[in-house]
Amino acid sequence: MYDLEILQDPYASEDLEAIRAINQENIPEVSDIESIERLRQLIEWSSHLIIIRGSEIAGFIILMQENQDYESLNYDFFNKKGEPFLYVDRVAIQENYQRKGLGKLIYNKVIEIGKKLDVNITCEVNTIPRNTPSLAFHAGFGFEEVGTKNYGDHSVVYLTKFLRS
């Protein structure tokens, strides 16, 4: 049995350590979080920090709304559009919990939040190196391609789940 929890400040240090460890074991699908202090900064910019907990934290997602000081070029792609959105900054699940429906569980919650806020859900997925499972996952949820970006060492596709009325 797994529960979704929207974590609130103050955050338990063991929760933050577990979140960072899950993030680090999911590189390169997610980017590095070099320290707990950097994780705290990401959380400060976020609108929602949701974890999946069973006997331990199995995964997490960090969501951000528009107009934060976050220095991500991928976030900026959506921020420059001038429309409200909910950006999936990162989502990661421990390897031994993957392929058990937890991603669907957490994305259903994200879509519920997006509908309540009347915003689109946005994210990017690596195309080089190709993250085929994530591309298929997002396609299954109805995300549509809205742009691409080539960096020196990788490329991404920008995706949006249109929810705004």
Residue 28 is predicted with a pLDDT of 84
- Average pLDDT for runs of 10 along the chain of length 165: 91 96 93 96 96 95 97 96 96 94 96 98 95 95 98 95 92
Could you please report the per-residue DSSP string of 27-81? TTTS-----HHHHHHHHHH-SEEEEEESSSEEEEEEEEESS-----HHHHHHHTT
**Cα–Cα distance for residue pair 21/96, rounded to 1 Å:** 13
Other residues' Cβ atoms within 10 Å of the Cβ of residue 3: 10
